[in-house]
Structures are given as structure tokens and as C-alpha cells.
């Protein structure tokens, strides 16, 4: 039996950013070509014949936003027949979490602009990119409770309140502060330093903390069960 196929393969990148002031944001590009010309979208595009999926998503990010990210995790494959009005396109989506101020974004190729948007205040998105983004948010919320992926978004030394705020922002809900601190500290990969928090105005400054990455990966190798 002959099977007729005319399917194209694409990649899309959901790059989340976090700052204490701005909260959780996502990097979007404004398309300058049809379809969805002048509409905001996730960075991405078709995979070239000689590329791996990872090479393709890294290239598209660099071309459309000017940034390079060391690690993007594969999210999900989106393949509804009508997701692209031009032809049948299956997209493999990736997601990552970065500090926005660590990058200088610059739109290029088929993107006329690139910008960070708070996930609570998004413009209309092209294709099925809102569905992809929502799937990525759910995955991020799920992962952050069993792996401390958020530490790289904080300063080398930080007040514990900043870690609480990060988790509350990503999870979109309040935390039991005392229980959260107790659970985090029991693992032993978060260390309290003698350095004091710099406060504006009155108040007693608390000690700053730092993440011991070596200790964490050692515990992970031994089978740590990190779950909040």
C-alpha cells in the first residue's frame, strides 16, 4: 500500500525569562512575512535537511532573536493538520528558562521585532502558539517542584525571600512559607552564608543563601527525591 505524505517538520522555542521585578515572561518575535504578518509568535521555523532538531531550534533562536541558549528541553510535538494554513507542518517545541538581562535581543531574518512579554499580559499569537505556550507553562510548573531549576535565575547569593518569590511566580500560587523553607533546607544543597541582605529603610537584615550545585548533583546521582 502506497502512503502519500507531504509533511514539513518545524521547531518552536518557548524561552521563559524571570526577574524579581518583572516576574515570568516569554520571548516573542513579530512576524514580517505571511501568514500572520505583523503578529507576535514564538521563535521557530522549518528544520533543514542536514540539521538535527536541536541544531534547528538553536539556529532559529539565533537568527530571529540574536540569543544563544545552552540548554533547551524538548516539550511536546504539535501536529494538528490545520495548524499552519500554508501546508501540513508538524512542530517539535522546546522550552528553557533564562535571565532576560543576560541577553541582548535583536530581531532578524523573518522577524521584524523581538521582545519579552509577561505571561499574564500576552498579545494575540500566531498559529497555535498560545496552546504551545500554555503547555510549556504547565511543564515548567510541574518540573520546578521536583527539580531546582530556578536557582540559576537568582544572583549568586540571594535572600531566601527571593527564592520563595520565584517559586510563587512560576507556580502561580502562594506557598506555605515555613513549610517551603523547611523542605528546601533539609536537602542540604542550599547554604546559608554570613553575608547580610541589603535592606532599604528599617528592618533587620537576614543572611543571604547560595546554591551548592556540586552537592545537588551528587545527591541527584545518589537518588535524591526532590519534591515540594
- pLDDT higher than threshold 80 for residue 212: yes
pLDDT (tens digit, 9 = 90+) per residue, 129-172? 999 999 999 999 988 887 777 777 888 899 999 999 999 999 88
Buried b (16+ CB within 10 A) or exposed e, 23-41: bbbbbbbbbeeeebeebbb
CA separation for the pair 120, 125 (Å, rounded):
13
Q: Tell me whether residue 228 is in a domain.
A: no
pLDDT at 200: 63
Model confidence, pTM = 0.89
Q: Tell me whether residue 1 is in a domain.
A: no
Q: Tell me whether residue 103 is in a domain.
A: yes
pLDDT (tens digit, 9 = 90+) per residue, 11-51? 999 999 999 888 999 999 999 999 999 999 999 999 999 99
Q: Tell me whether residue 213 is in a domain.
A: yes
For residue 36, is it left (φ>0), alpha (ψ between -120 and 50) or beta? left
Co-location of 46 and 92 in the same domain: yes
Co-location of 195 and 110 in the same domain: no
Classify strands 23-31 and 7-19 as parallel, antiparallel or unpaired: antiparallel
Q: Which of 180-184, 189-193, 205-209, 220-224 has the lowest mean pLDDT?
A: 220-224
CA separation for the pair 35, 224 (Å, rounded):
47
- The pLDDT-based confidence of 119 (bands split at 50, 70, 90) is very high
Q: Tell me whether residue 227 is in a domain.
A: no
Co-location of 46 and 98 in the same domain: yes
The stretch 213-217 carries a mean pLDDT of 83
Domain boundary among 97, 120, 143: 143
pLDDT at 225: 65
Domain boundary among 115, 143, 171: 143
pLDDT at 199: 65
Residue ranges making up the domain that contains 131? 8-143
Co-location of 125 and 178 in the same domain: no
Number of domains, the chain: 2
For position 90, which CATH number holds? Answer: 3.90.79.10
DSSP class of residue 125? B
For position 180, which CATH number holds? Answer: 1.10.10.10
Domain boundary among 143, 166, 187: 143
Top-confidence residue, 204 or 25: 25
Buried b (16+ CB within 10 A) or exposed e, 161-193: ebbbbbbebbbeeeeeeeebbeebeeeebbeee
Amino acid at each position: 500500500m502506497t502512503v502519500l505524505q507531504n509533511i514539513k517538520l518545524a521547531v518552536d522555542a518557548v524561552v521563559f525569562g524571570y526577574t524579581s521585578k518583572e516576574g515570568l515572561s516569554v520571548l516573542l518575535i513579530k512576524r514580517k512575512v505571511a501568514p500572520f504578518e505583523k503578529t507576535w509568535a514564538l521563535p521557530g521555523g522549518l528544520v533543514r535537511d542536514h540539521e538535527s532538531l536541536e541544531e534547528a531550534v538553536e539556529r532559529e533562536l539565533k537568527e530571529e532573536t540574536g540569543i544563544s541558549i545552552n540548554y533547551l528541553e524538548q516539550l511536546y510535538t504539535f501536529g494538528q493538520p490545520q495548524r499552519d494554513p500554508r501546508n501540513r507542518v508538524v512542530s517539535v517545541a522546546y522550552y528553557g528558562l533564562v535571565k532576560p538581562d543576560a541577553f541582548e535581543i535583536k530581531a532578524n531574518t523573518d522577524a521584524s521585532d523581538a521582545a519579552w512579554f509577561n505571561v499574564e499580559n500576552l498579545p494575540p499569537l500566531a498559529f497555535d502558539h498560545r496552546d504551545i505556550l500554555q503547555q510549556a507553562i504547565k511543564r515548567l510548573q510541574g518540573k520546578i517542584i521536583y527539580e531546582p531549576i530556578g536557582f540559576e535565575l537568582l544572583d549568586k547569593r540571594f535572600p531566601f525571600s527571593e527564592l520563595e518569590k520565584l517559586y510563587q511566580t512560576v507556580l502561580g500560587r502562594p506557598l506555605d512559607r515555613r513549610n517551603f523553607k523547611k523542605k528546601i533546607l533539609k536537602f542540604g544543597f542550599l547554604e546559608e552564608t554570613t553575608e547580610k541582605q541589603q535592606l532599604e529603610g528599617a528592618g533587620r537584615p537576614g543572611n543571604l543563601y547560595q546554591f551548592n550545585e556540586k552537592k545537588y548533583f551528587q545527591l541527584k546521582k545518589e537518588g535524591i527525591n526532590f519534591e515540594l
